[in-house]
Structure 1
Amino acid sequence: MNILNLKKISQLILNNYNSPINFYFVYWFKFIIGILYLWKLLSRDFSNIALWPVSVISGYPVDIYHPDYLLFMGIAPFFDLVTFHFIHYFISYPSEGIFSLLQNIAIFLSILLIFSPLRYSRITAIFLYFVVSYLWGFVFRLGQEIDAVFLIQSSLLVYALLPFENSFEYCKKLRFLALVVFVIYYFFSGLNKIVDLSYVEWFKFDLVNINSSFHLKYLLENLRYTPELPSFTKNGLFYYILNDIGSAITYIVHLLFPLLLLYSDTKKILIAWFFYTMFHFLTIYVGILFSMNFLAWLIILPVYRWGFKNDKK
């Protein structure tokens, strides 16, 4: 890659960063983060974590998953630091009442984040990040939702770390960094497939048969409901796409996701959103519901460009 190409790439990234924006994005951003955390917090009872044996809730994700998975992030002491569980080197784990109190505090902070003035929203985001990181740390220890909150938690961290400025420059920084969060998430998802799978396995997902197996288990063993794929997908072109090339196309798109740092006009963002909506929808048929990711895309969809006149810097 010569110096001219590097200059061109740098200029494209700079042009993306300087895309017209207004303060509606900031209000939209914290509204989506707050609403999604409210949904997650009201969908789970954290107090029952106190009922698990200490040997379980003091374990690490690396103890559950293959050693190659989360090799650095799922081990002590790094995991304890990012989830603030290091405090349990000195004090015991919370009781049911303390877990409930923390959950209620997180719910209150989520509501406060939505409605608080911009000047005070950052400090709210900081406290909310502390509490939800601590609570979801235990969820990760139990092997649940290992990446379900990555997008909103990382976006919340960006909001908490970025000093507030009453300027369009602040809006541009927040929008661009939120886009970077999505790039990291999807690009490294594709990169993991290079590490975990051979190239031949990229073309052998066998979605149709996996779906038939999951649906049959639901019918015969009353396991978690998995809908059955429509009959037209079980032969012909649709069967070929879903079973043989669909997964490879998805992995390649993951690896190309950083291109949105260069080209992220409304049309391209909507195309990416449509593709990933279809991708996350299809995972329902193998028993995986990326419901959070469906809605997390609202963070970077350019709604601030619709219905309002954009204020340039």
Structure 2
Amino acid sequence: MDITFTNVDYTYQANTPFQGVGLRDINLTIHGGSYTAIIGHTGSGKSTLLQHLNALLKPTAGTVQIGDRTITPATNNKNLKPIRQKVGMVFQFPESQLFEETVLKDIAFGPQNFGMSADKAHQRAEEMAELVGLPKETWEQSPFDLSGGQMRRVAIAGVLAMQPEYLVLDEPSAGLDPLGRQEMMDLFNKLHRENGLTIVLVTHQMDDVANYADQVVVMEHGQVIRTGTPREIFANEQWLVDKQLGVPKTTHFAEVLKQQGFQFEPLPLTEDELVTALLPQLLRQGGAANE
């Protein structure tokens, strides 16, 4: 299932003295099966774009094609449940949305709300709890007794219990320590690689973009100003700095090494690429020194 934006505008509080532009002339396709990262400085429209992916917001102008459904400014809010089931949203600090007495009850809430029997929803909840790495001893605990990282896993499991085709993530690692952040990103990558989930990720972490995404969308002032692969987007460090963004730490380090005489073509984006490009040069230097 693809999601396609065609000439999409979105205006907050339209036709009031407080109206403001959220999106302007968005033309973009997110292909099913892809891993898309959306980057841009604060206020660039990233979160507004995300909320159009499952019709939480409807365009002020233009259309959003979600699979076989066309969302327009005139689309009725009824009968949007199938879209919400296909496109699962995980907002910043999703643990704030937890409310049930136990972990399994919270995970099972969504499927039951969509008509699944209590027994099947409970079974689904157990499967999702195991999938996201929640220890069995936590399943009957209150989610509020868990660590922050575990609470976030409960919230994500609740979204996955709906068996969406898309998993939409708005800064999902915000507030987590480095280990917790890495565990979250590894989980999403596993879901993408092994379960075929389409991932859409909003992040300020350029390392995550380089390590996981296959498509990057750059936003500014409510517009898409560039799309491409991570290698294409990160090819011009100065352009990214001018846009108040950055490059992966590995790429920046490689730029520093270039000033010391090392050669990289193309510039490495990940640690593995850096090691592969750097090791032969270090070995040659070592051999020359021995001579």
Calculate the TM-score normalised by the size of structure 1.
0.27
Q: With CA pairs under 8 Å and 6+ residues apart, which has the higher RCO, 1 or 2?
A: 1
- Hey, which of these two has a bigger chunk of helix by percent? 1
- Hey, which of these two has a bigger chunk of strand by percent? 2
